[in-house]
Amino acid sequence: MVAVVALATAARDAHRTEVAAIVWRDPGELRPIAIVPPRLGEPSFDATRGVYTAPFGDGVATLTLDPALQRPIESAVENGRTQWGAVVILDVVSGQVLALVDESTRDPAQALAGGGGAALRPLAKAASIFKIVTASALLRDGVSLKEEACGTGGKTRLKPRNLVDDGRGRCVRFEDALPLSQNVAMAKLAARHLTPPQLATEATLFGFDAPLSFPWPTVPSPAAIDEEPFAFATTAAGFGDVRLSALHGALLAATVGNRGVAPAPFVIAAVDGEDAPPPPQPRRVLDEQQADVLQAMMAATVERGTAARAFSTSERGFRAFDSVPVAGKTGSLTDREVDLDYTWFVGTAPAHHPKIAIAVVIVNDEWLWHVRALDIAKLALRVTFAAHPEWARADEPVAAR
């Protein structure tokens, strides 16, 4: 016989704490069956202590957010006047969140404690960031880095004729398809070697369609993998119905930079007046060799691929950033149905021995914008390594480890 004996709910200062429901399973046995963790409230800066804090149930949590990073990055994104803009920086190994910026001109009242904007919700299309998942699936399938796929067109969208093997067009090796973000090559390689269940499984391993464990509310990043051959190939290349939050984007980069181990993100450093939540646990997603190859591809993205020009030049008032090697992936997509322009950068730095992972997503009006993701990424990285120059140590190349 199982009978519910009590369910108590206490509310103090508008922050609710759920207390365990007590059940009777056997005579004389009382034990809790469920405890809802205390709610983490909206963060604020404690100028006296020089830290960010937030209400946590009946207590106060000291947060891991670094004011030397959080405040200038927040200002830069706010000045960018984006529809939605988000930046997440976290420690590659521990998952400690060092900066979490979430700004919006479309929804200025958004609050992290209420689910936030693009930082915690997959408001933006993942675009070519999803190529990381496709490349991982191809590596897991044993595809040679030297295998080529040839074709023409497909820079901003794919059509069935782009995927016809007619021997014409530019030939791109698999090892270059990710750094150059070659849509046709990635789509053809996926169509040639992968099945929809394989790609769906890889997406699941990278955390898609599953909730992220985090003290503020998050929404799972959806990845719809179509069974129809052309739709499947275009999804593999970054044109599918896949969305991503900035927190999840930072975890994708961290998983690769941490040699295949996905850190569990956390933002609570200490708690006064409540029990601190248990430490989160990392999980292995890729083997070390597979992760190292992906990391080398992402380093090539910044060295000679789609991010090379932005990192080596100054644009729109955002200076070049080349003092620390960076590994990353760019993404861009215009959704003309809603007149929105999505740009992404996810990556790790230093490239050869990562300390931090970063994700930047900027959602602009298609016809009017002031900043893009690579602009904010350069600024955020400069701010980070200026505040923590000890993190910028060089090490041996990933491929040699």
Specify whether the CB–CB gap between 286 and 136 falls below 8 A: yes
> Rounded to the nearest 10 degrees, what angle do helices 183-193 and 131-140 cross at?
40
Residues 216 and 265 in one domain: yes
Count up the domains in the chain and report the number: 2
Q: Please choose, from the candidates 206, 254, 287, the residue with its C-alpha nearest in 3D space to the C-alpha of residue 355.
A: 254
Q: What are the mean pLDDT values of the chain's consecutive 10-residue runs (401 residues total)?
A: 35 36 45 69 96 96 98 93 92 97 81 82 94 98 96 83 82 96 96 98 98 94 96 95 97 98 97 90 96 98 96 86 96 84 96 97 83 94 96 55 33
What is residue 34's predicted lDDT score, i.e. its pLDDT? 53
Residues 140 and 268 in one domain: yes
Specify whether the CB–CB gap between 136 and 202 falls below 8 A: yes
Is 71 a member of any domain? yes
Is 53 a member of any domain? no
Residues 24 and 82 in one domain: no
Is 340 a member of any domain? yes
What is residue 229's predicted lDDT score, i.e. its pLDDT? 95
Is 42 a member of any domain? no
Is 124 a member of any domain? yes
Helix (H) or strand (E) holding 302: helix 288-303
Residues 23 and 168 in one domain: no
Residues 20 and 109 in one domain: no
Is 52 a member of any domain? no
Dist CA 361 CA 265 (whole Å): 18
Dist CA 143 CA 150 (whole Å): 16
Alpha carbon 396 to chain centroid, angstroms: 26
What is residue 310's predicted lDDT score, i.e. its pLDDT? 93
Residues 21 and 97 in one domain: no
Question: Tokens representing 20?
Answer: 């365990």
Dist CA 247 CA 359 (whole Å): 7
What is residue 397's predicted lDDT score, i.e. its pLDDT? 41
CATH number of the domain enclosing 214: 3.40.710.10
What is residue 31's predicted lDDT score, i.e. its pLDDT? 54
Residues 384 and 342 in one domain: yes
Residues 11 and 159 in one domain: no
Please confirm whether the linkage preceding 350 is cis (ω < 30° from 0): yes
Specify whether the CB–CB gap between 340 and 363 falls below 8 A: yes
Dist CA 65 CA 276 (whole Å): 17
Say which residue the tokens 């090796």 belong to.
173
What is residue 24's predicted lDDT score, i.e. its pLDDT? 39
For CA atoms 349, 351, 357, 360, give the dihedral sign. positive
What is residue 37's predicted lDDT score, i.e. its pLDDT? 77
Residues 16 and 159 in one domain: no
Is 40 a member of any domain? no
Q: Please choose, from the candidates 384, 364, 379, the residue with its C-alpha nearest in 3D space to the C-alpha of residue 317.
A: 379
Statement: the pTM of the whole predicted model exceeds 0.85: yes
Question: Tokens representing 268?
Answer: 């609570």
Is 330 a member of any domain? yes
Residues 157 and 235 in one domain: yes
Specify whether the CB–CB gap between 84 and 361 falls below 8 A: yes
Residues 138 and 19 in one domain: no
What is residue 120's predicted lDDT score, i.e. its pLDDT? 95
Residues 275 and 228 in one domain: yes
Q: Which domain covers residue 216, as residue numbers?
A: 64-400
